[in-house]
Amino acid sequence: MPQPPRLNAVALISPQNHPILIRTFQKGDELKYHYVAHTSLDVIEERTSGKTKPTECYLGLLYVMDDVAAYGYITPLKVKIVIALALTDSVVRDADVVMIFKALHMAFYEAVSNPFLKLDGVSESTADYSPYQAVGSMKWKRLRQAVDEIHRALCAYAP
């Protein structure tokens, strides 16, 4: 029976490379995963702006650092999702990782659709109207809770 992949951290990054939410599931390691998210951005940039542009949203394994493996996903609307999985001996199947990403994308979609986000938006101009900043702020709990629920589901999930 293979072990389910262990999720250490989740990072959501806006199309303009602003961090939306960085959620870690290990106490005291927040800074490390901020660093992981930053480094992943460079790899994502490299993969998506190269000569052969990828057509898949799932970018696969980005890199491995110490005991974590970073996986990347970019939605067609250019929101980047990075997850850090604990490096274990068990095989990590791409299908499982894609499912985690799909779940995260849905969680993000549902949180960002909140019509009340716009009310305290920074800029009123519609040209650069972006609720991305607001959705990850401390004031709105929805995204945080959804990400936590995915983490819980993954812990209980046996492929």
Partner 1 sequence: MSLVALADPPAVYVDGAAMDCLVIEAVSALRASSAVAAARATKIELEMAQAGFVPPPPVAKLQHSSKDSVGSNTARPHSYVDEEDEGVRSRLEAIGLHVGANYAEKLCRDRPLFSDSLDAIKFICKELWVSCWDKQVDNLRTNHRGVFVLQDNTFKPLTRISSWEGRAETLKRAKLAAAFPAGIIRGALSRMGLHGTVTPEITAPPHCTFQIKLPKNT
State the nearest-atom distance from the C-beta of 34 to partner 1, in Å: 25
- String of contacts with partner 1 for each residue 22-51, x by CB under 8 A: --------------------------x---
- String of contacts with partner 1 for each residue 132-151, x by CB under 8 A: -----------------xx-
Identify which of residues 91 and 156 has a Cβ nearer to partner 1 in the complex. 156
Task: Provide the 3-class DSSP secondary structure of residue 32.
Answer: helix
Do the beta carbons of residue 100 and residue 7 sit within 8 Å? yes
Interface positions, 60-89, toward partner 1 (CB under 8 A): 74-78
Do the beta carbons of residue 43 and residue 27 sit within 8 Å? no
Alpha-carbon span 111 to 89, nearest angstrom: 35
Task: Provide the 3-class DSSP secondary structure of residue 68.
Answer: strand
Half-sphere exposure for 142 (CA within 13 Å, toward CB): 15
Count, residues near partner 1 per rule CB under 8 A: 35
Alpha-carbon span 67 to 84, nearest angstrom: 10
Residue with tokens 């999702």: 81
Interface positions, 96-115, toward partner 1 (CB under 8 A): 99-100, 102-103, 105-109, 112-113, 115
Q: Summarize as ranges the residues that interact with partner 1 (CB under 8 A).
A: 15, 48, 53-57, 74-78, 99-100, 102-103, 105-109, 112-113, 115, 118, 126-129, 149-150, 153-154, 156-157
